[in-house]
Amino acid sequence: MGHGYQAIKWYPFKRGYDGWIAAFVAVFIAVFLVGLYAFAPPGQFYSPVQALMRATGSCAFACLTIVLCIGPLARLHSVFLPILFNRRHLGVATFLIALTHAGLVLFWYHYGGVVSPALSLLTSNTAYDRLAGFPFETLGALALIWLFVMAATSHDFWNSNLGPGLWKALHMGVYGVYALIIGHVALGALQRETAPAFLAMVLSSLGLVSGLHLLTALVSRRAQQASADEIDWIDAGPALDIPENRARIIQPISGERIAVFRYAGKISAISNVCRHQGGPLGEGRVIDGCVTCPWHGFQYRPEDGQSPPPFTEKVATYRVRLDARRHVLIDPTPLPPGTATAPALIQEIPA
């Protein structure tokens, strides 16, 4: 992580973030309850527990939808980066709301019998072989377990303890959770609720989440392809076209992307992949002389790819030079992470 100053800059925002989450949850549940009672067909009655059970289920679904949209939105536009920074708080909130929902269900439908509520939940319906009447609760339970795993490992302690690879794999499970919840709702609530508002809720979430992910996947394929006419060094385009303190991202013919930064009259190239969670360093900026990851603010010196003390993260660096047209040339073979290499000086007229 960069240094104290990075954390301090985010700090007031971090507390505000949790406030916004709490406000969103409160407003969502209030509006849902009012809507449920106001638009109930004549003769229909909801007990408060049932109403709350549905409000918390829907609220957890809404939070999950937002959590999933934050990633692609942040890739599409930098105004969404601040909400990415503390996305894990919203993830933990999703788990807690879903837990409340499941607790209310167990209490309402499965408590007070001879068998334990959990056993009753899992055994009262075993029609796994058909869609109508499918035990959709099991899908919700599986999703809840995985939400718990992710909430419990959300702290950076676990990220560094499990290693970014395993951590990332665990947390990619959120896509599976989303699929389970779509199943949970389609085979559960949508079977009984014929009001179009409920179908619209599910379809708009699915459209938003899928649409944004597919859109970003397509947009982020756009990295400048290295031109193949240079055999050893690849041409990364004119140095002066890179905005000051910003980077151009280059996709070499093989290997990971390279972030080519321009700062203080110099050009340096480092790996585009942040050591923290793989954030795109080339979409970040040089702040206080360090490349700053757009996702959570880890920092690296452009000259040697090392995080400033006391931090110890290192990324690969690449040798750079300028040609006579002041195009940046990069040796695409990565130097070992943390290797110092001389930046190219833009002012120097190359031979």
Partner 1 sequence: MKNHQRRAHLLIWLAMTPALAGLVWLAVLTRPAAAPLAGFVEPR
- Residues forming the site for ligand FES (CB under 6 A): 274, 276-279, 293, 295-298
Distance CA 335, CA 190 (A): 55
Distance CA 318, CA 345 (A): 15
Nearest approach, Cβ of residue 22 and ligand FES (Å): 25
Nearest approach, Cβ of residue 50 and partner 1 (Å): 7
93 part of the interface to ligand HEM, by CB under 6 A: no
Per-residue CA distances from 142 to 29, 42, 52, 70, 330 (Å): 24, 35, 21, 23, 48
Comparing CB distances to ligand FES, the nearer of 160 and 333 is 160
Per-residue CA distances from 141 to 102, 135, 137 (Å): 8, 11, 6
Residue whose C-beta lies closest to ligand HEM: 140
Determine the interface stretch with partner 1 among 4-12, 93-101, 140-148, 215-223 (rule: CB under 8 A): 215-223
Comparing CB distances to ligand FES, the nearer of 268 and 272 is 272
Q: Which of 151, 170, 189, 212 binds ligand HEM (CB under 6 A)?
A: 189
Q: Would residue 163 be called left, alpha or beta, if left means φ above 0 and alpha means ψ between -120 and 50 degrees? A: left
Core vs surface per residue 90-105: b (16+ CB within 10 A) or e: bbbbbbebbbbbbebb
Q: Which of 33, 92, 202, 345 binds partner 1 (CB under 8 A)?
A: 202
User: In the numeric block, which tokens belong to residue 80?
Assistant: 């969404």
Subset of residues 297 to 316 that bind ligand HEM, contact rule: CB under 6 A: none
Distance CA 68, CA 146 (A): 15
Q: Which of 156, 244, 256, 348 binds partner 1 (CB under 8 A)?
A: 256
| Residues linked to residue 314 through DSSP beta bridges, in sequence order | 306
Where do contacts with partner 1 occur on this chain (CB under 8 A)? 40-41, 43-46, 50, 108-110, 113, 120, 124, 131-133, 168, 172, 175, 179, 182-183, 186-187, 189-194, 199, 202-203, 206, 210, 213-214, 217-218, 220-221, 251, 256-257, 273, 278-280
